[in-house]
């Protein structure tokens, strides 16, 4: 007879099987196939083994690879910190107990549910050089119109400004949850010690909120390195490749140039970059992330 432990294990595997099958077919399987394709020269007409040639050409011959990588890195390292600060500041304001608090939270969260394409079209209108609201506002203060999406000096800055559209989204909700998880007794003890609002924020709120900041930081960088829709809809990578984000360059190689081997190599380089960035963040987190159960 089958033992109770084995029967329970079999039932557990039976329940896990749909997810496991889905993971193997739709995630692990395609990843392994793309890894294999990255070592081939594949253009739909023919496929032959090329070794590390795709990677060699990316690093030593492809100027657009380095251009797309630099655009994405600059965007990530500027937009993510500003986004974190904006979401944290908004969460602190929406955590104040005022009349209509739930309405304010809903209003600030609404932009995050707008589809990405619709959001890109709205910002395309806002950045319009002739009739956009942003240039009209600048004109009110005496500044001339700025060709936000036509002048390569301003396009990346425009995308960074546009990234702040998401400060009221899921990141803000996570910060709100973290703020509400801080016991009020900590603030009461700080007040008894004579701590003002700033010292309470610096010595109580930030340390206890550091795991949430760390979590949002990781997700922020992963998301920033995968920017695609806004660039594809608004500028198509221009002008002069000033908004050629890495994901857009990968898309072009796969769906426009049909260089499937090169596109697969680009995808794996991105995977390694994200893995390295995340590993560095985890390594650095030991110095500033505080968990409540940690011993001093």
Tell me the average pLDDT of the chain: 91
**Portion of the chain with pLDDT greater than 90, in percent:** 70
Prior bond of 113 cis (ω within 30°): no
Mapping DSSP to helix (H, G, I), strand (E, B) and coil, where does residue 13 land?
helix
For the stretch 188-222, pLDDT in tens is 999 988 888 899 999 999 999 999 999 999 999 99
What was the pLDDT predicted at 140? 86
- Contacts within 8 Å (CB) and 24+ apart, 203-210: 205/92, 205/179, 207/290, 208/178, 208/181, 208/182, 208/290, 208/292, 209/88, 209/175, 209/178, 209/179, 209/182, 210/288, 210/289, 210/290
- 40: β partners: 49
For residue 45, name the pLDDT band (cuts at 50, 70, 90): confident
For the stretch 104-162, pLDDT in tens is 888 888 888 889 899 999 999 999 988 899 999 988 888 878 899 999 999 999 999 99
The DSSP-derived string for 203-262 is IIIHHHHHHHHHHHHHHHHHHHTT--HHHHHHTTT-STTTT--HHHHHHIIIIIS--HHH
Tallying the residues shown for the chain, one arrives at 296
């Amino acid at each position: 007879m089958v033992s109770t432990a084995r029967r329970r294990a079999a039932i557990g595997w039976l329940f896990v099987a749909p997810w496991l099958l889905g993971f193997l077919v739709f995630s692990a399987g395609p990843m392994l196939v793309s890894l294999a394709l990255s070592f081939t020269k594949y253009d739909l007409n023919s496929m032959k083994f090329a070794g590390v040639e795709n990677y060699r050409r990316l690093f030593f011959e492809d100027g657009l690879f380095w251009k797309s990588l630099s655009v994405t890195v600059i965007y990530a390292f500027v937009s993510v910190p500003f986004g974190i600060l904006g979401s944290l500041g908004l969460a602190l304001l929406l955590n104040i107990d005022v009349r209509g608090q739930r309405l304010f939270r809903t209003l600030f969260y609404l932009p995050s549910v707008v589809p990405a394409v619709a959001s890109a079209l709205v910002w395309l209108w806002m950045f319009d050089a002739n009739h956009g609201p942003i240039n009209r506002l600048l004109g009110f203060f005496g500044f001339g119109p700025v060709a936000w999406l036509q002048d390569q000096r301003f396009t990346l800055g425009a995308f960074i400004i546009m990234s702040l559209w998401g400060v009221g989204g899921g990141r803000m909700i996570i910060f709100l949850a973290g703020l509400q998880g801080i016991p009020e007794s900590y603030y009461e003890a700080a007040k008894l010690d004579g701590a003002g609002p700033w010292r309470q924020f610096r010595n109580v709120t930030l340390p206890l909120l550091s795991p949430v900041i760390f979590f949002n930081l990781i997700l922020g960088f992963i998301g920033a390195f995968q920017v695609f829709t806004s660039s594809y809809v608004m500028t198509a990578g221009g002008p002069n490749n000033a908004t050629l984000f890495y994901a857009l360059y990968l898309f072009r190689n796969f769906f426009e140039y049909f260089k499937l081997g090169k596109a697969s190599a680009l995808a794996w380089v991105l995977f390694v970059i994200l893995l390295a960035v995340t590993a560095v963040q985890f390594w650095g987190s030991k110095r500033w992330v505080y968990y409540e159960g940690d011993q001093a």
